[in-house]
Structure 1
Amino acid sequence: MLNKLDHWLVHYPPNPELRGIKRFVVEFWFFGLKEARACLFAGLFFIAMFVIPKSGLWGIPRYDILLIFALVVQAVMFWAKLETLDEIKSITLFHLVGFVLEYFKTSSSIQSWAYPDFAYTKIGGVPLFTGFMYAAVGSYIIQAWRLLDVKVKSYPPYWLSTLVAVLIYLNFFTHHYIGDYRWYLAAFAMGLYARTYVYFTPYDHKRSMPLLFAFVLIGFFIWLAENIGTFIGIWQYPNQMGAWATVHLGKWGAWSLLIVMTFTIVANLKHIKQTIRVSRD
């Protein structure tokens, strides 16, 4: 059924006669539908985090239930052809990148945040489901790219965007030892992507926005989701141990930088795939 929905969303007959407020409403409606569909895995995973009780279900700890849930959803989406094998591989990469970061940040020497509940599927205090939080972001970008027929104009050289992404990722680790350079990296990214626009198709007309604005906007919504995630006790920052408090606004910037990194991975994978296809032809 959802596979038919994808086809309907992408191939719905155009209506060039639409004008004014009617066009705005129709385009906004299709944009919302495509965004909701792109968020399918992320949305289901977020709902699961919210509704599964802290005590778990059927004697299975909450974190383990979340891991099982994420694996089942991914398997169903692949079976239903809502995700391709290449997309599954990309999501696995995001899972690994995210889990390594989680493992480091929750280590006894760093303790940036913690997962307080018991789980059988913990490695070094990190539940295995946590990688899927990062995979969910990657899944959203991959799905939105396809459903909205995203095209990128004035994208910077791939080697330079890759360098920035790598430095952003490394800074999440190294700032505990040699200083935090995220704002320098943010300034560098702003200059690098200043002329870059994304073109997307909500309905039958191409629309555009600065790529930097997209980074900040997605980062903001993840920051909101993080506030809810800490409120229901999935994980906790040190200042939330006694009583819940709003996640520091600076995390919005950190998430926006992570989106820069995530988008770069997706863009590079697509570029590599296109290069291989051209070379074969």
Structure 2
Amino acid sequence: MAAAAAAFGLWREQRLARADTSRKGRLDLPVAGLVQLLNGQDRFCTTSSCSGRVLLAQVPPAAADSSGYEVQKKNCVWLMVTHHMCTKEEVMTALQKATGDAVFKFEPFVLHVLCRELQDAQLLHSAAINSGFRNSGITVGRRGKIMMAVRSTHSLEVPLSQMGKLMVTEEYVDFLVQIANRKMEENLKRIDRFYRCLQLALKTQRGSSSSLCETVKTCSTHSCRSKRIPDKACGVIASPDSNSPCETVQTYSMYVRRRKRSTDNVHGVNTSPDNNEDSENEDDPEINLNIFEEIY
């Protein structure tokens, strides 16, 4: 246990001292407070984040053996990007710069947090689930790194032009912009719920000797999310032979999944649950175990 804590302390120190290598070079304003809250705790360390964004990207033509668009970040040219709501005029202006295949996308909030212990990751996972980020999960690496990923599934990806030629009407572009803006609005609400839920959970756990499950129950009681989640989604892993109050909390289902998953593509519109930021887990290629809640 002491060795694991020492290793986490070293990883945390190295990570916090590292320069921001993202394209933007700084934190997105909507998540700045959340990141500061987490990094102010000695048991957490954020490794990558994105508050959510609407963008128009020019991508290379799909490979000959591909059945559709395969958006690769490293080969993309950003024609437009905003971490706020956008307008049809902004998108149409950006489309005029397209000389290749342009794809309109909305990517929701994503956050990766290195955690000292599994119970710390479980606390974050519970707060995320109760805030609406229901595709969140915990990964455990061979070297003992515990990573908590906060994410959701309400993404949007639609091809608009091919070889510089607009393939849809301006009215349809306006329709897509309205959808993306509604998704962004909901995304920002979820971030705020997550911040408040996490604040409450940390305060409750710090101010008492409450167990993890009691802290989560308190957080849920204070309505950290507007829509109640079934007990099995509380994100608490309880031991079957435990006599603690956690026995009253149903455990969620778990399954092992390969870390790399392909993106679903239906009629050229992608709605992918995986929206990983450029720097996600780049310092631990050995991660091979994913623990995710099964959503039915």
TM-score by length of 2: 0.29
Which of the pair is proportionally richer in strand?
2
Which of the pair is proportionally richer in helix?
1
TM-score by length of 1: 0.30
